[in-house]
Copies of this chain bind each other. A is one copy, B any other.
């Protein structure tokens, strides 16, 4: 069984017409006699012909594929987002190729640099470790939309949520429930960690506004944003002798990790310690207690990203870079309101 590759040529021969006519039928060109059309269609069916996308793409200079570059697929937030992006892209006839950067700066540079150039028509990129300089150094001119943080003055379109305001709102909510020693889990040392920086800023703003003292010992740094990091950070807080009565975690995974540690050690949540997260992943809605969190409108993020990208793919790159702010919502659940 070799590969008897079927091409327009073969269909044409069988149907007794020219290659171009077959091409016309395939592409739904109007001026084709019903008779010819059905003859061609029969031949297509008989040979089980499929257009060769590589050839078509080569000819047209477009592939119909866009890439979605995210840190990790098994971080639920990105998985959920990916789902929305794929769905939104589909509606525009675009196929999504997913790239995992593993949050490594190297891989992210590679992506920005356009190592998939010519394979993709556009890029939706959710960078974690990339610096504004990296981004500015970008040579490739594939249309790109950035998700997540606002990278200072970038030349690219952005879809963002107001991280500072959202983090502030979450922290203020904790304060409003009467908590006085509100910890934060999720600070990062890396200068490129915009997410962390912005949410930390919101946290401090909220403390100030609530008239609570900022205590550095209550701010826990983490390597990554996984459950394990949250669990360890919570353990450190409890062991420090400065146990907080509330914790704002910079994402839901950290919060779920922290929750595990708290329950494991017999601390009541929210009785003893209240807990808030960020992202509103499904896990948090089924944890016990259910998790109070900031819920960014993921579907809107995906749709806006695709819209921006589509616009840039057609209109070209001359247009001014746009920044679209997407709504979020504080969702109060049992972990702060038991």
Instruction: Give me the interface of A with B, judged by CB distance under 8 Å.
Output: 1-3, 5, 48, 50-55, 57-58, 61, 63, 65, 72-74, 76, 79-80, 82-83, 86-87, 95-98, 100, 114, 116-119, 139-141, 227, 231, 256-257, 259-260, 263-264, 282-283, 285-288, 316-318
Partner of A79, one of B5, B74, B263, B288: B74
Partner of A316, one of B2, B48, B227, B259: B2
| Cβ-defined contact, B2 with A117, below 8 A | no
| Cβ-defined contact, B96 with A98, below 8 A | yes
Copy count, this protein chain? 2
| Cβ-defined contact, B118 with A3, below 8 A | no
A-B contact pairs, 8 of them (CB 8 A): A2-B316, A51-B118, A54-B118, A55-B58, A74-B79, A76-B76, A76-B79, A227-B286
Name the B residues within 8 Å of A287 (CB-CB): 260, 287
Q: How far is it, in angstroms, between the C-alpha of A256 and the C-alpha of B290 when the chains are bound?
A: 12
Partner of A1, one of B1, B227, B317: B317
With A1-B317, A74-B80, A260-B286 already in contact, 19 other A-B pairs whose C-beta atoms are closer than 8 Å: A1-B141, A1-B318, A2-B316, A3-B61, A3-B141, A48-B139, A52-B58, A54-B118, A55-B58, A73-B73, A73-B79, A76-B76, A87-B100, A95-B119, A97-B98, A98-B98, A256-B283, A260-B288, A283-B283
